Structure 1
């Protein structure tokens, strides 16, 4: 019996020392690797570079056009020999043509293309935020599972000692056989729960390795001490959602549409061109010409297309403005919900750690003392042990709920 009291005392007082694995990944290091290596982030980087490369060439001119050909050749080729015959107007023509685009069109086009890169940057930041939430929840889930595993192993050792002692007392008619069988059944259930926790740890381990883009079965150790952040919640926190990357991406998309609208408006402005020709004549002096050109997009059959596009984009912008308001409302709602739930979960968790678990620990110690003095019943002692284990597991469930809600709260506010 002294061994039982000593074992339980060690469980309540001492913190177990775990062997350190050579591979250790902190939460900060994990998030850094995810934001750096995950293919979605790299894809956005290439997309941004693609848009920037396209924007660099947005102000380029079309290449000049060179053309050549024969002109005014008679069917009777003998006429080509008549050098002074006015009917011999045959020759070879060369021409070079260069269109000169309107600078306002080029500037508008470059601004529009560059704005697309800003949208991709905001999308990339929001994808990082989503990956951070997923990684944190997997990390916290594994952390809590490992803590539960430790509790189960400690409880298993205590229960094994209780069973051994009860079997010794049974030989002296001081214990009941059915209670011993029940304790052994609970011991088997503990082993089954340990297997289930091993499955949870393995599953989360695979998820974390996948996010870090490495072999799914790579083993590593995580933080052994994680505590809730205990944010100071207030109603003003809901105003911070307007700066979230997904909402700023939508806002930048609206700005991009306005720049696209400007591109359509500048399309009614004329472009210019120049054409130089030289004709090498056979029967008369050579000739040359230079002509200037200008487009006239203000004609009705052309301007109608531009004006309708401008009007259409205007309606799309109004639609996106409404969508932005909806996103802000929903984000504020989700943030308020997470804040309220966190307050309640924190209150319950504090009750578990300060009141419920200490009371059940005292209950178990009192029943152990009574059992040692042969005034207690093993069935009552087993029930006290079982209730303490259950409350400790429930406390870790509450801790995971808090950590998960904080991860979602940080997601809603995009806290890095």
Structure 2
């Protein structure tokens, strides 16, 4: 029996050690690095960038040469083929090769256009990283605050158990009321539900973090136990560099890309060239050959209309994109200003909770506890003081989460990672 009693604690310790070994500590910086390294959206952009790079390498390639062969001027009266030096016998076998030579300015414009699309993908990739960073930060902060709430509830639970023990001892001496004791036990049971709710929210955040890091959803992780607000300056709202944000930069590069596409259309009215060489193996006369040069004539009205209309259409699209970019800049400035303003007032409320409100309610609880111990107070009032202190501590942590979330959103708008 003694051996069994000894083995059970050892097994529990072993299980705890195994769980601890499987638990990985993830700092916020490491989290963001893993998200940028592993998340499929980022990898997808990398593949798209490589795709455009590969396409740009072949942008100046020529069309392949065309080889053709066939019978030439064969008479229906095949017996004429055997007649030599007869002017009427012009039958032969034709061999020809043709190569189109594209206009160099067209090739250069095409390559510049493809490279511009590559740059658009790079900016879009950076903006996606920014979006994922915001999501990761909010999940990380949500888990941190909920764990802080768990600690607060656990400590409040210990205090309530102590108060109930004192009240039950006083009840035996007719110094406490039974209904208030039952109310205290009901509050104690409600704390269990709060624990369950917070466990669910922590698990939800944990799943989201694992998904962003492309890990198994059941993987256990540990996070920072101390996170403080960054205390951004609220005196001056700086929106001067908002045009450098990746999504706005992507729009600027997309406009540049459309301008290059427009240039491709304009250059389309320049001619291309070609050369054609032929050798004719004749049956009734000497062999012959020919070399011809070719040039396209895209300036004819029925051809040039296509290039001019396409160029005009792209011009209108560019103007629309310029207006879209202006709208994005205005919205970005608005969001930066709003987030920083809200952050300012949320920080003031949080500081008021931490420096004054919590201290006042702690003093209220201590005063009521002292009065109850001296038989001059009521357990109902003491229980209310305990509950109010708990609620205010939880509210303070809600304010902390609001601050951290607003910081994440402000950093998203300013693209601070």
Shorter-chain-normalised TM-score: which range?
over 0.9
Deviation at 1:268, TM superposition (A): 0.6
Q: What SS is found at the alignment partner of 2:180?
A: helix
Q: Give the distance between the partners of 2:194 and 2:237, measured in 1 at CA.
A: 43
Question: For 1:241 and 1:372, how far apart are their aligned partners in 2?
Answer: 61
TM-score normalised per structure 1: 0.94
| C-alpha separation in 2, matches of 1:271 and 1:32 | 50
Q: Is the Cα–Cα contact under 8 Å of residues 20 and 221 in structure 1 kept in the other structure? A: no
Asked whether 1:347 is paired with 2:333, we answer no
* Partners of 1:345 and 1:402 within 8 A in 2: yes
Q: For residue 157 of structure 1, what is the aligned residue in structure 2?
A: 158
- What is the rounded CA distance, in whole Å, between the counterparts of 1:233 and 1:289 in structure 2? 81
Q: CA offset at residue 223 of structure 1?
A: 0.3
Counterpart mapping for 1:41-120 below 5 A: 41-120=42-121
Bigger CA drift: 161-170 or 53-62?
161-170
Give, in angstroms, the shift of residue 235 of structure 1: 4.0
3-state DSSP of counterpart to 1:238: coil
Paired position in structure 1 for 2:186: 185
8 Å Cα contact 1:156-1:190 kept in structure 2? yes
Please state if 1:357 is matched with 2:370.
no
Question: Which position in structure 2 is the counterpart of 1:231?
Answer: 232
Q: Is 2:139–2:209's contact at 8 Å kept on the other side of the alignment?
A: yes
- Aligned mates of 1:285, 1:222 — CA distance in 2: 91
Confirm whether residue 137 of structure 1 aligns to residue 141 of structure 2: no
Q: Which residue of 1 aligns with 2:3?
A: none
Q: Partners of 1:264 and 1:310 in 2: how far apart?
A: 6
| Alignment match, 2:398 | 397
> Following the alignment from structure 1 to structure 2, what is the Cα–Cα distance between the partners of residues 415 and 36?
18
Deviations 1:150-197 (A, max 9, x none): 000111111111112211111110000110011011001101000000
Q: Secondary structure at the match of 1:239?
A: coil
Post-superposition offset of 1:270: 0.6
- Which stretches in structure 2 are left out of the alignment for 5+ residues? 1-18
Q: Which residue of 2 aligns with 1:205?
A: 206
Query: 1:107-137, CA deviations, whole angstroms, 9 ceiling, x for partnerless residues?
Result: 0000000000100000000000000000000
Q: Structure 2: how far apart are the matches of 1:295 and 1:236?
A: 59
Q: Give how far 1:139 is off.
A: 0.3
2-structure distance, mates of 1:198, 1:239: 43
Task: State the 1:240 CA deviation.
Answer: 2.5
Report the TM-score, using the length of structure 2 for normalisation: 0.94
Contact between 1:268 and 1:306, CA under 8 Å: does it hold in 2? yes
RMSD over equivalenced CA pairs, Å: 1.1
How far apart, CA to CA, are the structure 2 residues paired with 1:136 and 1:233?
A: 21
Q: Which residue of 1 aligns with 2:196?
A: 195
- In the alignment, which residue of structure 1 is the partner of 2:247? 246
Determine the C-alpha separation between the residues in 2 that align with 1:349 and 1:398: 6
1:301 counterpart residue number = 302
Shift of 1:145: 0.2
Query: For residue 283 of structure 1, what is the aligned residue in structure 2?
Result: 284
1:266-277 matches, within 5 Å, as 266-277=267-278
Long gaps (5+) in structure 1: 1-18
Cross-structure match for 1:15: none
Distance apart, 1:45 and its partner CA: 0.3
Q: What is the CA distance between 1:242 and its match in structure 2?
A: 1.1
- The whole-number CA distance in structure 1 between the counterparts of 2:71 and 2:214 is 65
Matched-pair contact (CA < 8 Å) for 2:237–2:337: no
Question: Cα deviation per residue 1:185-210 (whole Å; 9 max; x = unaligned)?
Answer: 10011010000000000000000000
Aligned pairs (5 A) from 1:309-348 = 309-348=310-349
Structure 1 residues 61-110: Cα deviation after superposition (integer angstroms, max 9, x where no partner): 11111000000111121111111222111000000100110000000000
Alignment of 1:375-390 (within 5 A): 375-390=376-391
Residues 61 and 101 in structure 1, CA contact (< 8 A), matched pair in contact too: yes
The count of aligned residue pairs is 398
